[in-house]
Amino acid sequence: MFRSVYDLKDFYASPSGGIVRSVLAHSIRTWWDNLKGFRVIGIGYTQPYLELFTGEAERVISVSPAFQGCYPWPDPQYNMAVLAEESELPLETNSVDRVLLVHSLEYAELQRSNLQEIWRVLKSNGRLIVVAPNRSGLWSRAEWSPFGHGSPFSKEQLRFVLRENLFVYERANTILFTPPLRWNLIQKASATFEKIGPYILPGLGGIHIVEASKQIYSGITATADAKVIVRGRSVAIARPVPEMSIRDDN
């Protein structure tokens, strides 16, 4: 199972991983074409994609889940990677412009808490990209790849999950139409598959990529005589036990 950061690193070093990286990086860059001066955070295994912004963004940080492990990135002397619980990010509130989520949501044990924590650290105009395996795609059935583990999603499921955690669903795309076969002939024809796949078999793409924005509710000005009424059952609170001393009757 792809639970270790080194398993994921080995996958992206393989020919199949190189195809995934190329296809997904192109889609991410198409949506986020200029992040100059922005603060970008990657959560999950995002190192292959954060490299797109290291020479452009004001700051780029890779956050690896605690269960997955971490290695220095991009260089041991200039490390920008950190190990943390996804539900307790070591970041200030409203401090991040962009969050990239890859190899994270499908493995999440605390999905709701993780997304709420992302909502907390994003600025009011911040954006989130979620990458998750397609439930009806072929790659979710390839157990030798990281997309064949965890919980895949349909596009509507991703829309629902984001909406329930105060994100506005902005746009989505299904990519990675190259079949998950480790044959040289298939891998060499990946560009052709990616070109014709959306027209021939649009529902069989291996990955959903979704962009969402942070939902902000407008505040209501409270009047001077406004009162908060607490409704609920009364709760009986036990009294503290009095201090008891041991007496010696002898």
Residue 239 reports pLDDT greater than 60: no
> Tens digits of per-residue pLDDT, 48-68?
999 999 989 999 999 999 988
- 5-214 maps to CATH 3.40.50.150: yes
> Tens digits of per-residue pLDDT, 198-225?
999 888 999 999 999 998 864 444 444 5
> Tens digits of per-residue pLDDT, 96-152?
999 999 999 999 989 999 999 999 999 999 999 999 999 999 999 999 999 999 999
Residue pair 27/209 in contact (Cβ under 8 Å)? The answer is yes
Tally of residues, the chain: 250
